[in-house]
Amino acid sequence: MKKNFDKNKKLIVLLIILPILLIGQYFMFSRGIISPIVKGVEIKIIGGNYIKDLDKYIIKLGDDVEISAGNYVKIPGYAKDPKLRFNILDDKGIIKIDNNKITALKEGYTSVGVMKGNRVLKKAMLKIVDPNVESLDMDISNKLKYVGDKATITSSVAISDYKKFKNTYKTKYTSSDNSVLKIDKDKVEAVGVGTATISGKCADKIVEIPLKIEAKVANLEVANEYILEEGQVGKITSKITTSPKGLKSPPIKYNYLNRKNKSDRVAYIDDFGKIKAVREGSEKIVVSCGEKSKTIKITVKRRSIKNTFIKNINYNYILKDDKLFLDINWDSIDGIKDYDIYIKNSDMKEYTLAKKISASEEKEGKLETVLEFDIPKIDKDTLKLYIVGNGEKEKTKPSEELTIEYSK
């Protein structure tokens, strides 16, 4: 009877203690008081750029990668996740670990381990590499010529080793003048007039694309015709409207419409729009600015008398018996019937007509005469003169003033 009682008593105690032990075990594991058994730990890289070799991971210098312990098994399953950590197993300064992120600091080999307390559950070898950039090519998607144009910059890199890292190399783009070309990542916009260079840099390779940005010409205004006389000089003037308004316009260009020998040209035009009328006739000139152009006409008429003047005045003088004998000659002009010579010395306030010479005295395209003057009773004096040609209805412009200084 007593044996049965003792047996039942033990069974009751066991039935009471067993649940307590099970509950206690669950409590201890679930709260992390007791660490579970861990199996199947693996070191895996799950983010960033890397190459998985047979016995190691290859990471590019300067990159960051995420590291994981893999899908390990904990026993019992209800236990709180164990405190696993990653640790560098050597001290070479090749990498650094922050939580589960590895940063590659310099080239070389190193190893990392998954740690549970002081025990290494799994380790892996890492190789940090820095493949050389062999070449860098850069291009822009659209032509950048005018203010407001936009484009995308693209580049391609060739590296020496570990070709899988090719796409991880990023080219940095910069502008030499942000007031002309503005760059935002791989987008570029022409924002001002001028010259600027797009530079692409990857590792030690640099590629440059120089560009000249102009204002887009919205309108070009210029006179349809310029009328000049032979020998006259004129200037083509234009009004340029840019888009947007107010920008510095591109240079204006002037070109002959028709090809001719220089000796056959009626008028000459230079790079600044200056016209030199040569002979009677007409020329057509194409005036262009940006993508706008207009053809104009230059008409050269025979030079009128009122727009000409006496040229190539030459003189000699002698002093004899208190008199000044002035020998003077000049080029004749067609259509002139006679020439007036005006003089003034130091005693005269106004010019006075000294002599009238008929055009009939012309010899070989020249007029020549001798003027005779009394010499004032002073040691030296200055004589000034100019010549005017007279036509039937018009007079020439006065010639340049000629100054003659003489002394006794």
pLDDT at 3 over 70: no
Q: Mean pLDDT score of the chain, rounded to an integer?
A: 90
183 SS3 class? strand
Q: In this predicted structure, what is the pLDDT of residue 397?
A: 93
Q: How far, in whole angstroms, is CA 294 from its chain's centroid?
A: 28
Higher pLDDT, 256 or 26: 256
Number of structural domains in the chain: 5
From CA 310, how far away is CA 308, in angstroms rounded? 7
Closest CA to 148 of 222, 242, 16, 219: 242
17 SS3 class? helix
1 pLDDT tier (thresholds 50, 70, 90): low
Query: Residue 108: left (phi > 0), alpha (psi -120 to 50), or beta?
Result: left
- Mean pLDDT to the nearest integer, 45-68: 89
Model-level pTM greater than 0.85? no
Asked whether residue 332 falls in the same domain as residue 399, the answer is: yes
Asked whether residue 13 falls in the same domain as residue 74, the answer is: no
Domain boundary among 255, 287, 303: 303
Asked whether residue 310 falls in the same domain as residue 403, the answer is: yes
42 SS3 class? coil
Asked whether residue 195 falls in the same domain as residue 287, the answer is: no
From CA 403, how far away is CA 383, in angstroms rounded? 6
Q: In this predicted structure, what is the pLDDT of residue 17?
A: 74
Higher pLDDT, 214 or 37: 214
CATH code at position 196: 2.60.40.1080
Asked whether residue 19 falls in the same domain as residue 49, the answer is: no
Asked whether residue 315 falls in the same domain as residue 348, the answer is: yes
Domain boundary among 88, 112, 129: 129
Say if residues 156 and 137 touch (Cβ distance below 8 Å): yes
26 SS3 class? helix
Per residue in 349-372, pLDDT (tens digit) is 899 999 999 999 999 999 999 999
Higher pLDDT, 11 or 99: 99
Range with the poorest average pLDDT among 23-37, 200-214, 220-234: 23-37
Per residue in 7-40, pLDDT (tens digit) is 666 777 667 777 766 666 666 656 667 777 788 8
pLDDT at 266 over 80: yes
Strands 64-68 and 44-47: antiparallel
378 pLDDT tier (thresholds 50, 70, 90): low
Place of tokens 């003169």: 385
Say if residues 289 and 249 touch (Cβ distance below 8 Å): yes
148 pLDDT tier (thresholds 50, 70, 90): very high
Per residue in 277-330, pLDDT (tens digit) is 999 999 999 999 999 999 999 999 988 899 889 999 999 999 888 888 999 999
Asked whether residue 317 falls in the same domain as residue 369, the answer is: yes
Closest CA to 377 of 326, 323, 327: 323
pLDDT at 67 over 70: yes
Phi, psi of 25 (to 5 degrees): -65, -45
Closest CA to 312 of 399, 229, 217, 243: 399
Asked whether residue 321 falls in the same domain as residue 393, the answer is: yes
Domain enclosing residue 9, as ranges: 1-29
Domain boundary among 100, 129, 158: 129
Q: In this predicted structure, what is the pLDDT of residue 28?
A: 64
Asked whether residue 400 falls in the same domain as residue 311, the answer is: yes
pLDDT at 2 over 60: no
From CA 144, how far away is CA 82, in angstroms rounded? 60
pLDDT at 274 over 90: yes
Asked whether residue 239 falls in the same domain as residue 311, the answer is: no
Higher pLDDT, 47 or 60: 60
Asked whether residue 99 falls in the same domain as residue 153, the answer is: no
